[in-house]
Amino acid sequence: LKHLLTVEALTDEEVMGLIKRASQFKKGARCILNKPQYFVANLFFENSTRTHKSFEVAEKKLGLEVIEFDASTSSVQKGETLYDTILTMSALGVDAVVIRHSDENYYHELVESKSIQCSIINGGDGSGQHPSQCLLDLMTIYEEFGYFEGLKVAIVGDITHSRVAKSNMQLLKRLGAQVYFSGPKEWYDEAFEVYGHYLPLDELVEEVDVMMMLRVQHERHVGENHFSKEAYHQAYGLTIERAKRMKKSAIIMHPAPVNRDVELADQLVESLPSRIVQQMTNGVYMRMAILEAVLNGKA
């Protein structure tokens, strides 16, 4: 891989290769890098805990040189653009940058530039894509079931604003899973019907193998009417009562951060069927696999 920008750009073989490699890292495999020294920088222009820190842990586990970057104390504050920031990183000899940015498709001008040599790893672009989250989610599902074909996956909640939902619906559908959607109709788009079908949550809860709950993205709802927490939880959340109706083998997922007692009941976050903590742990191993593939694939 030269870059990781979207899940659509990955072949099925690359996806399965990354899942396999991440699982090997989880079992203690050592990394194989083409050069003894690589420099990487994590540039987060939107807030993050999991993606930022799990990339950092992954980088340190791989023995990479991690260059500190804090947008709030950088020349971004003097008006420097994203393009000029990455041009600078490239000129300094940074091999790969992980970027999270609020602009959808921010990466196009970076990868089209002849002057920028570093690999771009998309850590989330607005409501666009979140490929590393999707890959760690798929790793978690694969660890549980060992296959994707025919698996029933519900993606529930704030779908229009969710980059996690978009990456997951695209890749899950391509790998043969049956994707269903639920949640407020105002946060759903008919365009998603290409990937799956919308059903009321109470019709889905007993049928699916994976309940993937999404965070209500308050920061992207400027000017919109909000549900009260309780009203949202009762109408669209995974309540204790709904969770009791799930199949015994079904699992609960959430990319986190979780709004407890909104998307799912507080007690369910660390419950037996929940794989939310496992998702976070798998994030480190999947990001090790991504970094290794990108750095070794760098032109």
* Residues within the interface to ligand CP (CB under 6 A): 48-52, 133, 255-257
Tell me, rounded to whole angstroms, the distance of Cα 12 from its chain centroid: 17
Q: Is 100 annotated as a binding residue?
A: yes
Least gap, CB of 187 to ligand CP (angstroms): 18
β-sheet bridge partners, residue 87: none
β-strand partners of 182: 156
- Hey, what amino acid is at 162? S
Which of 54/178 has CB closer to ligand CP? 54
* 51 known member of a binding site: yes
Closest contact distance (angstroms) between CB of 279 and ligand CP is: 8
* Helix residue ranges, H only, the chain: 12-26, 50-61, 82-92, 108-112, 131-145, 163-174, 201-204, 229-236, 240-244, 276-297
Give whichever of 29 and 258 is closer to ligand CP, judged by the CB atom. 258
Question: DSSP character for 216?
Answer: -
CB of 160 to ligand CP, least distance (A): 17
Nearer to ligand CP, 87 or 139 (CB): 139
DSSP string, 254-275: --S---BTTTB-GGGTTSTTB-
Joined tokens for residue 233: 């939880």
Tell the smallest beta-carbon distance from residue 47 to ligand CP (Å): 7
139 or 205: CB nearest ligand CP: 139
Q: Is 78 annotated as a binding residue?
A: yes
| Residue set of the binding site for L-aspartate | 78, 163, 215
| Residue set of the binding site | 50-51, 78, 100, 130, 133, 163, 215, 256-257
